[in-house]
Structure 1
Amino acid sequence: MTAEAAPGPLQGLRVLDLSRVLAAPLATQILGDLGAEVIKVEQPGRGDDTRGWGPPFLEDGSGQPDAAYFFCANRNKRSVAIDFAKPEGAALVRRMAAGADILVENFRTGGLARHGLDAASLLRLNPRLIYCSVTGFGQTGPYASRGGYDFLIQGMSGLMSVTGRPEGEPGAGPMKVGLPVSDLFTGLYATVSILAALRHRERTGEGQHVDCALLDSQVSLLANQAMNHLVGGEVPRRLGNAHPNVVPYRDFATSDDYILVACGSDGQFRALCRLLERQDLADDPRFATNAGRNRDRRVLEVELAKAIAPWRAAELLAAMAQAGVPGGPINGIDQVLQDPQVIARGMLREMRRDDGTAVRVIGYPVQLPRSPASYRLAPPRLGQDTRAVLQEALGLGVAEIEALREAGVVALADARRAERMA
């Protein structure tokens, strides 16, 4: 059985996805990759915000193509367009929640209560439900009512205070990471926590409300920087591409490009010195240990920079690989997506939407030989599965669905394009 068709370890679980943008949709995509059935509930006429976050857009011959952003976190899902601001729409979602194993949402704290779709209401309806909320600041605390966005969280969490060029250098100042990492980290934590809650339900029969916050997730991943402060008392500062604990571990300029040098041990440092014909640095007592290299990093890095500068990048990286010195290039996105290692690991996948439009996506990053991730459904068109899901999950007839459509409670995607492509 191919990875495209494999059922996956979460087969048989139904996920009701009320989320949009990135953190929570990433979590539900992972559950879908691992075999769960994911039903994405979207606002009629608009859908997930990221459908419009372009250019670029995936041109499909329609008047409203979806933005590339949408495709990064929405495969292996079925799209149902329901307006749950209307009582009839909220009633449909409650009926779907009654038969779901997992519900994921990322509305502001308390935002779904007015529709009867909050955790307390749905857990009374379905005590086995794993209800996961993803918010900026969580369900409790003085910031609970605030909206949270990745950029704000990167700043508030301290991440930006250790990211960017040091004071005194050109371009100095705090800098966000080039990807929305606080969203991404939270999506991963949400997935792990949902799986833990499923294990608890397996033992006890109890569902629960899983409360995930962007700020909590990012603070937890301050890792060694936070521990440096808790143990050593110093406030970490921006070091550019240098490492707060390990030296040499940064970028260096060669004659034609920048490269990365990452010596994690004394032996690797000595090997680098031999390669650069700077045995004097390896023999210098100041640099014999990592603690010494850290203390006198400015002196050492100036000397290393002089020795590295005459080399061509490709030649030095090849020599470093042969000598067992960790190093690498700084790839552009185009380069990494053509890298033979990335391709060999199956990290690029081509899928086809229900209308035949092809789209390439980044694959699931873990090899599970006994229960592999699968690529069953390309990111859906808005509302493409409304009719089928309402029929299958709720047993609604054609006349009932048409009445809901006429009342503006649900929207049905234009199926004619898909039929022409069949």
Structure 2
Amino acid sequence: MSIEETQTSRPLTGIRILDLSRALSGPFCTMTLGDLGATVIKVEPSENGDMTRLWGPFSGGQSVYYLSANRSKQSLSLDFRHADAMPLLRRLALDSDVVIENFKPGVAEAMGLGVDVLRQLNPRLIYASISGFGSEGPARDAPGFDQIAQGHGGLMALTGAETPTRVGVAIADMTAGLWTALGIVAALRQAEATGVGERVETSLLASMVSMLGVQGQRYLSVGDVPKRTGNANPVIAPYGTFETADGPINLAPATEAMWHSLCHELDLDALCDDPDYATNVDRVRHRDRLHRVLEERMRQRPRAEWVRRFVNAGIPAGVINDVRQVFEDAQVQHCQLVRHAHHPVIGQVPHMAIPIRMASVDVQQPACAPPLLGEHTQAVLRSYGFGPEEIADLIARGVVTQHTAA
């Protein structure tokens, strides 16, 4: 089945996105929009393609990193240094609904691909940008990398126990990509109503600050600078990770009723009458001592037994899975959170499905596997109205490259 056939009737079918982004934030955004039906044209440098194609580990010669963020797209291979490359991109932008880039601020303008130039050519264009720290301000020109943003945006100061700790995935990149996707969808709706395009912008820093949630609000509202609490909840106790006879579990008795049920299940009913634990505020104040008392009892039985007992009693509890255990989990498999798409080199490639289900259309099935470099160059140019002779000339002069099967 072709990519066009798999995208038919998805929510964003008919929306064409010219994707000039690379690495993760932009590609994660456009992969999401591609899953939802948009036609995503990923423009890649002819020599090596997106930089992540060179990052290991590899499966069948293909970068796993690239595979993780580039399904549901078509690849056009372009020599960005060729004199005709920028005029070609401007021509493509003329007939696109969205352009997305994540260059450092000012680079797109220097290339002749800035928002003012492209929206003058196409007033309905949605122009989306992702940067490290924003297009204005004292840190405007600072390099934007995920861990730098996690630290600068406060997330690392809240994560871990003894020392600031980065989250185990590139959370700044991925959340920036999701915010951008949401902004693009909103701008498309606005353009539908007004006939005028929009500039959509976010940064890794802005994404991290927005994700501080209640911890950020604590400072803004009462001047409280939250500290790291490891796996404990900063404002609820008991709540967090507890050791059992054969490994840790997560436990989240967030209400008074759950607290009383927990004491009953652990045969520690006397704790309910202890004034040190009378209210949540009291339990937070004495959290370390309470944690030791509860954990001493939990270490007497295996984690599966405790989780079963707690869940049956209406107390939120769960095991802590490694990645292998996640994908072997019965609930994960039942919800079909892994889907497959055919790759021309590897064959069937498993992908983590977009975590959205819709009643009338299966958006979780990838529109296509991540493309080979330049796999769709000719097809993309034809879809933009380029004729056979013009395409052949562009290939002959090295402006674009079409992947050919080995």
Give TM-score scaled by structure 2 length: 0.96
**Structure 1: gaps (5+ residues):** 60-64, 166-171, 418-422
Measure, in 2, the Cα distance between the counterparts of 1:345 and 1:104. 32
- Equivalent pair of 2:238/2:291 in contact (CA under 8 Å): yes
Which residue of 363, 367, 378 corresponds with 2:353?
363
1:358-412 Cα offsets, whole Å, 9 max, x none, are 2110111111112441422111000000111112213232x43333223321111
Please name the residue that 2:380 is paired with: 389
1:49 and 2:75 matched:
no
Per the alignment, residue 98 of structure 2 pairs with: 102
CA, structure 1 residues 401+6, in 2 after alignment: closer, same or farther (shift >3 Å)?
closer
**Separation (CA, whole Å) in 1 of partners of 2:194 and 2:132:** 30
Does the residue aligned with 2:215 lie in a helix, a strand or coil? helix
Letter in 2 for 1:236: P
In the TM superposition, residue 286 of structure 1 has moved relative to its aligned partner by: 2.5
| Separation (CA, whole Å) in 1 of partners of 2:344 and 2:327 | 25
The reply on whether 1:340 has 2:330 as its aligned counterpart is yes
Q: Which moved more, 1:217-226 or 1:301-310?
A: 301-310
Q: 1:211 aligns with which of 187, 201, 206?
A: 201
The residue type paired with residue 77 of structure 2 is A
* Contact persistence 2:339–2:353 (CA under 8 A): yes
**3-state DSSP class of the match of 1:361?**
strand
User: For 1:210-238, what per-residue CA distance to the aligned partner results, in whole angstroms no more than 9, with x for missing partners?
Assistant: 11111011101100111112223221111
Conservation of the 8 A alpha-carbon contact between 1:119 and 1:209: yes
**Stretches (4+) displaced over 3 A:** 3-6
3-state DSSP of counterpart to 1:16 = strand
Corresponding residue for residue 161 of structure 1: 157
1:137 maps to which of 133, 137, 148: 133
Paired residue for 1:249? 239
Q: For 2:119 and 2:59, locate their aligned partners in 1 and report how far apart those are by CA, in whole Å.
A: 39
1:28 to 12, 30, 43: 30
Matched residue, 1:222: 212
Aligned pairs for 1:228-239 within 5 A:
228-239=218-229
Q: What is the CA distance between 1:345 and its match in structure 2?
A: 1.2
Unaligned 5+ residue runs, structure 2?
none
Structure 2 counterpart SS, 1:184: helix
- Equivalent residue in structure 2 for 1:308, among 282, 289, 298: 298
Q: Within 1, Cα distance between the matches of 2:6 and 2:318?
A: 33
Identity %: 40
Taking the aligned partners of 1:129 and 1:249, their CA distance within structure 2 comes to 48
1:293 to 283, 293, 305: 283
Kindly indicate whether the alpha-carbon contact (under 8 Å) linking 1:85 and 1:115 is maintained by their aligned counterparts in 2: no
Quote the residue 1:173 is aligned against: 163
Q: CA deviation at 1:263?
A: 1.2
Give the deviation of 1:4 after TM superposition.
5.0
* Between 288-297 and 319-328, the greater mean CA deviation after superposition: 288-297
Deviation at 1:189, TM superposition (A): 0.5
Residue 377 of structure 1 pairs with residue 368 of structure 2: yes
Aligned equivalent of 1:80: 76
CA distance in 2, matches of 1:387, 1:4: 20
Residue correspondences, number: 402
Q: Could you tell me which of 109, 112, 120 is aligned with 1:116? A: 112
Instruction: Give the letter for the 1:131 counterpart.
Output: Y
State the shift of 1:92 in Å: 1.0
Aligned CA-pair RMSD: 1.6
Instruction: Give the conservation status (yes or no) of the 8 Å contact 1:266–1:288.
Output: no
C-alpha distance 375-312 of structure 1, shift in aligned 2 (>3 A): same
Quick check: 1:84–1:115 contact (8 Å CA) kept in 2?
Answer: no
TM-score normalised to structure 1 length: 0.92
C-alpha separation between the residues in 2 aligned to 1:348 and 1:390? 32
Structure 1 range deviating more: 231-240 or 377-386: 231-240
2:20 maps to 18
